[in-house]
A and B are shown apart, each in its own frame.
Chain A
Amino acid sequence: MQTALPIVRKEMIVGYRLQTEWSWLIATAFFFGKVGAGLFAVSLFMGYPLGALVGLLIAEVGKGTAHLLYLGRPERFWRVLFRPQTSWISRGLWGMVAMAVFGGIYLILSAAGVTLGTVPNGILMALCYAGALVVMVYDGFVLSASPAIPAWQSALVPVLALFYSLLGGVTLATLLSTLVTSYPPDREPAGYLEVTLIVANLILVAAYVMVMADSAPAARQAVREMVRGSLAFLFLGGAIGVGLLLSLALALYINATGSEAPIIILAVTDMLGHFLVFFILLRIGLYNPVY
């Protein structure tokens, strides 16, 4: 008779081995990258250079710093540029470089009041969006491309990354335009977009949990940890309760009343939920038992 296998870390026994190497620092880098790229892309779309600048800084400085703090040999980080043909980490750095270079050109031109022709402007925007898109989704591909951890092996993970990134972008653009009123984006469509993205994320998270609950043994074990185990409080209370449901209630309230005060609370709940979802995703990284 097969005995139920335990969750193990470094112990020399067969079980669902927990990945412990990628934790809060990587979650922080993922968070800054997605939120920053999301804000950058949303701000470009809304024609909001201040938002694009803040997004660029969050992505490049926040994410870059978190990654450099995590690396064992940070002084060699430039080597990451050499393997885009196989490595999503490498592609991610290329995305960050593209975002920095083309986003920087866009911001300099905006600040100088230079207007490009339709075609050059279209090309510049396309390059900015391309870089931002890579930064928004590559974390998801880094996880989903890993054959070792079944809970990450889902096409839903990059989609989650994209939608959380867009949600973070809309939230921060709204917050920024509320705090700095000199050049606000159109608040009303942003409000509807916010609600739509929160609902979309809720559906995506539910779909992810349902798919994983019917997947490989390690993925099922991961779902158990998420909804009934040690991470249930963070997942159900933090990521779902505060991050999505409370954010949804606040967004609906803001849309209905036009009140600006709860926007700050919405930004906090949304950011907390965003961070927690990907932190939990890293924390449920269980390997299938080798034997």
Chain B
Amino acid sequence: MTRWGMVIDLERCVGCNACTVACKAENGTPRETFYCNVLEKTVGKYPTAKREFIPVLCNHCADPPCLKVCPTGATYQRDDGIVMADDAKCIGCRACYVACPYNRRSFLRKELLKRGYYGELTPYEEKKYAEFVPGTVVKCTFCEHRLAQGLDPACVITCCTRARIFGDLDDPTSEISRIIRARGGFQLLPEADTDPSVFYVK
């Protein structure tokens, strides 16, 4: 059985946010809506302070809390582990949004789809926004439309330092599994007990 996952090398990430932009370009998400982005954290004190970059996205948890709290069944999990949100069933209660320990859901307020990044909608925004249902919650799908074509997610392809590796967590010979084994891959907020499919190495 395939379980899609990602490993992110924090040593390689330079915080360029190319993944953030690639994701937005691929999915055409409106303002305030980020399926993936890069968080910054300052560690240490002057003169030895440094900035760390932590790329985040939906963790496609094996035990997703967003799925349990969804009152309509709009949130579901595919056999390959990808957690999806069905906008035909979503009522916009935002229980999933609140339940996600990683805060990786976005709510599409109606007004977000009426105005583009620069005022009036561009032809691209017009086309992409038409794919969204206002008043529903949206999230990263690991670019499932790209996976269906045998392609990696947009954030992985675009990463200029190859900080993101995508692959099958259930295949012990896959590059992602080897990296996690060799470098002690860890998950965010393990205490949430959600078993994320996104791992990090340092």
Contact = CB atoms under 8 A, between A and B. Distances in A.
Contacts of A22: 94, 98
Contact of B98 (A21, A72, A90): A21
Interface of A: 1-3, 10, 12-14, 17, 19, 21-22, 70-74, 76-77, 79-80, 82-83, 86-90, 93, 142, 145-149, 216, 285, 287-288, 290-291
Counting chain B CB atoms within 10 Å of each CB, the highest count among A80, A82, A87, A90 belongs to: A87
Interface stretch (B21-29, B42-50, B139-147): B42-50
**Chain B interface size range:** 35 or more
Interface of B is mostly: loop
A152 B94 CA distance: 16
A151 B56 CA distance: 23
Contact of B192 (A71, A73, A145, A147): A147
Nearest to B48: A1
Contacts of A76: 72, 89-91
A1 B91 contact: no
Contact of A146 (B52, B98, B188): B98
Interface of B: 32, 37-45, 52, 54, 56, 65, 67-74, 89-95, 97-103, 107-109, 133-137, 188-189, 191-194
Given A1-B45, A3-B43, A71-B91, A19 B71 contact: no
B65 A142 contact: no
B135 A291 contact: no
Contact of B136 (A13, A73, A86): A73
Given A14-B40, A77-B91, A288-B101, A87 B54 contact: no
A291 B103 contact: no
